[in-house]
Structure 1
Amino acid sequence: SCADIGTDHAYLLIELARRNPKRKLIGVEVSSKPFQVAKNNLKRVSLNDCVELRLGSGLTVIDPEEVDTVVLAGMGGTTIIDILEASPQVVGKLNRLILQPMVAVERVRKWLVEKGFRIEDEDLVLEDNQYYQVILASPGERQQLDEIELMLGPKIMEKKHPLLSNYLDFLISKYEGIIEQIIVNRKLLDFTNSKLEDLQNKLSKLRVVKDNVS
C-alpha cells in the first residue's frame, strides 16, 4: 500500500496502478486545482477506481498503518521534513519512505538518521540538465554519515553510480564559483572566514571523492 503526497497530476499513481491494480493507492493533494487535474487524469485512463484521492495537507489525511509506503517527491527538503514532522504517528508505522527532495537533500538524510530510518537504496537521475537524488529509507539500525555522505548519498557513493563522476564535476564547479564570488565580494556579502573555510573544506573533500571515483 502506498500514499503519494503532493501527487500533482497523479502520474506516479497511474503507473503504479497499471503495474498492480489491486494495490491500495492513495494520492494526497493540498490544492484543489491539481486535485481536480489528478482526478481527471485517473478517469481518462479508467483507473479512478484503483486510486483514492484525498484533498488535504501532507500526511494529516492518512491514518496510522493505513499504508506501509509514503512517497514525497518534487518538493524542497525542508517541506518534506515539515510534512513528516507534522504526523509522527503515521511516520512511526511506515515500512518505507521514498523521498526525492529538490533541494536540501543533506537535511533530509540527517533527519532520517536522527529519526531512526536507515537508507536502504538511492538513485541519481539527470533530466533536463538537472540532477535529482532519490532516497529509499526504512526503520532500522542507526547509520553514521559524514558530511559528504549526507550530500552525495552513502548508497550512491557505495555503488559508484554511473552519474556520480559527472555529478561531482557539477558540484565542484558550483562550489568553485561560489567561493570565487565570496572572495571577490566578501565585504559586500559579510561572509566570515569560518564560513569560507567550511566551503573550501567541503570542496576539498569533493575533489578527493572525485579522484577515487575516476
Structure 2
Amino acid sequence: MTDRRHPAGWAAAALRRLDAERAERGPTPLAGFPLPEDWGITLLFKDESAHPTGGLKHRTARALFRHAIATGRVGEGTTVVEATGGHAAVAQAYMARLLGLPYVAVMPGREDPARAEPVRALGGECLFVTPPLAIYDEARRVAAARGGCFLDQFAWAERALDWRGDDLAGELFAAVPDPVWAVVGAGTGATAASLGRHIRCHGLRTRLAVVDPENSAYFPGWARGRIGQTTSA
C-alpha cells in the first residue's frame, strides 16, 4: 500500500490519477475527409477535440504534469505556473484541478475576461502582463515567490511527450500503421518531434510535414539554422 504521507506516496498516487484519466478517455477518433475517388488518396484527421478540454494541448498538459511530478519538480501542494496566452492554460488548469494543485496562467496583454474565464472556471488564476514577451520572466517570478514550479512548456514538452509509442504517436500509428504522410501543426514543436522520433525509431516510411502560419519564428529557424530566432514583441 502506498503511504500518501510520504512525498513519493503522493507522487505515485498523482501519476496513477493521470494514467487513469488517459485510460478513461481512450483513443481520440479518426475522421475521414471526402476526396475525389480518382485521386486515390485517403485523408484522415485525428480528432483531438474529443478531449475534455477540446484540443491537442490536453495530451501535452497531461504529459507535462506527469514529467514534472516524476522528476520531482512538482509535489503535493506545489503551485504550478505557466506562461501562455492560449489553450494550454485551460488544459493545464484541468490537470491541476484533477491533482488538487494551485494553478496560475500568466497571459500576454491587458486583462481579458473572455480568455481568463475558462481557466478560472477550472479553479485556476490568471495574471495579464505587458509587453507580451514579459510573460516568461513574470511566470518565473511568480513561481519563485510562491515556492512553485514554472512548468515551461516550451522547454519541457519535447522531453515530456513520449515518442516511443505512448499517447498520440502510439495511437495514430496503431490505427494507421504506415501512412505516406503525417501532417501536424507546430505549436511548441513537441508533438511534431514525438511523431518524427516515433517514425525513425520504428523505421516507418512515413514523411512528416510541420505547418505553421506565415511569419512564424519556426520557418527561418529551421530554414537558416537560426536556433535563437524569435518574432517581435
TM-score by length of 1: 0.36
Structure 1 or 2: larger strand share?
1
TM norm structure 2: 0.33
